[in-house]
Amino acid sequence: MENGAGNGRPPATAAAWNFEPNGALLGLTALSVRGVLGRVKAGMVGGGGDDRRRAVIPMGHGDPSVFPCFRTTADAVDAVAAALRSGEHNSYSSCVGLEPARRSIARYLSRDLPYELSADDVYLTSGCAQAIEIICSVLARPGANILCPRPGYLFHEARAVFNGMEVRYFDLLPESGWEVDLDGVQALADKNTVAMVIINPGNPCGNVAETAKKLGIFVIADEVYAHLTFGQNKFVPMGVFGSVAPVLTLGSISKRWVVPGWRLGWIVTSDPNGVFQRTKVVESIQSYLDISADPATFIQGAIPQLIENTKEEFFEKTVDVLRQTADICWEKLKGISCITCPSKPEGSMFVMVKLDLSCLQGIKDDMDFCCQLAKEELVVLLPGCAVGYKNWLRITFAIEPSSLEDGIDRLKSFCSRHSKPKVHRSLET
């Protein structure tokens, strides 16, 4: 390698160490929620002396574990403590994960399926994030493309792009309760399409599977929010339709048990017809795991007890709080001009709302809105651009109800302060 003198090459000091930064990799920070939230918070001056002593209200995150009302159950903590005390989980685990943990996850997921999963259908991962990472690596091949929902979860896109895949976006339709635009999916798919990603709950399953079957593509079902539903529709796992089209079900204990820091997730082949076996997807996953790091063994060891001992009341309590905060969000957002919430949230921890920039002044776009809001009101929201939805906002309602009310009140006063004068002169402070 040359020493990098002149013509746009990295400076000699970098080249001297034979390192050239991978521009594609550096660019991927833009595809990360952490990266975007970092930019939103950058201008925030908290904890100062003047009237800035108000608390920061985080409504852009996906991790409510710090709030007392979302504290995990003591049964889960006991399961981990017992696994550690047993002294039996100090070794490396097997590549696919400890058998008892996989068996108990298979049994747990089979409760909602018309067929029985076995331990061999389950692969343990370091959270759902690593499950996504593995699947993207396994499916990627030169020229491949993958279909992702918009709005979606950026991590899928980031991993797909990093593996050289082209990401094609299909729409979820706000006016129809964020249903998948199946015509859009069909228009996007071609012979290089390897899979479509679904984030469930959120999308109706049966017709998605039929479409996948027609197109001959796998379904990747990100079900990290499984059972966190509080509306009319019960959670139906995509695996129910695994005999129509083979489904890779991704999940974790992060959201339902509110322990994202414990890093335990899974890939499950929901495929009663054995398509993944015949096409060597299974073998590819196993090979990938052979060259990957495993989730901590004692967390794996805790899984059987964690699943068996967690009481229904804990799940019900979490869902009750989410239902309550979703209601607060829905009711209070109605009172804010310049923001429309197309439908009442019925699952997960987020709601997407539409910004009407035409009734605001001095605000360029969703990113600008969030930056100014953070600076003036110490309220953190995620700009829609971070989930592929320009000029929308993603609001997390998984926080203490009182903070949520405070946060939306601040959002409201921010909006009236920045409204075009003729609309809101009387409300200006």
Chain residues in the site for ligand PLP (CB under 6 A): 62, 127-129, 153, 199, 222, 224, 252, 254, 260, 265
Per the rule left: phi > 0, alpha: psi between -120 and 50, beta: everything else, 370 is alpha
N residues, the chain: 429
Residue 229: CB minimum distance to ligand PLP, A: 14
The pairing of beta strand 247-252 with beta strand 218-222: parallel
DSSP designation for 366: H
Answer whether 205's CB lies under 8 Å from 180's CB.
no
- Which position's Cβ is nearest ligand PLP? 127
Residue 344: CB minimum distance to ligand PLP, A: 19
Residue 394: CB minimum distance to ligand PLP, A: 11
End-to-end Cα spacing for the chain: 63
The alpha carbon torsion through 237, 62, 252, 176 (nearest 10 deg) reads 10
Q: Which is nearer to ligand PLP, 275 or 296 (CB)?
A: 296
Residue 50: helix, strand or coil by DSSP?
coil
Block residue for tokens 């601040």? 410
Check whether the bond before 11 is cis (ω within 30° of 0).
no
| Dist CA 213 CA 237 (whole Å) | 17
Residue 251: CB minimum distance to ligand PLP, A: 8
Q: Which is nearer to ligand PLP, 257 or 414 (CB)?
A: 257
Residue of 216, 222, 217, 187 lying closest to 203 (CA atoms): 222
Q: Which is nearer to ligand PLP, 44 or 96 (CB)?
A: 96
Q: Which is nearer to ligand PLP, 248 or 378 (CB)?
A: 248
Q: Which is nearer to ligand PLP, 169 or 406 (CB)?
A: 169
Q: How would DSSP label each residue in 268-296?
A: EEE-TT-HHHHTTHHHHHHHHHHTSPPPP
Residue 177: CB minimum distance to ligand PLP, A: 18
| Dist CA 368 CA 393 (whole Å) | 11
Residue 166: CB minimum distance to ligand PLP, A: 21
Residue 202: CB minimum distance to ligand PLP, A: 9
Q: How would DSSP label each residue in 148-165?
A: EEES--HHHHHHHHHTTP
Q: Which is nearer to ligand PLP, 44 or 132 (CB)?
A: 132
Residue 231: CB minimum distance to ligand PLP, A: 18
Tokens of 76: 């889960």
Q: Which is nearer to ligand PLP, 189 or 198 (CB)?
A: 198
Q: Which is nearer to ligand PLP, 255 or 410 (CB)?
A: 255
Residue 132: CB minimum distance to ligand PLP, A: 6
Percentages helix, strand, coil for the chain (3-state, rounded to 5) are 45, 15, 35
Q: Which is nearer to ligand PLP, 257 or 369 (CB)?
A: 257
Answer whether 197's CB lies under 8 Å from 204's CB.
no
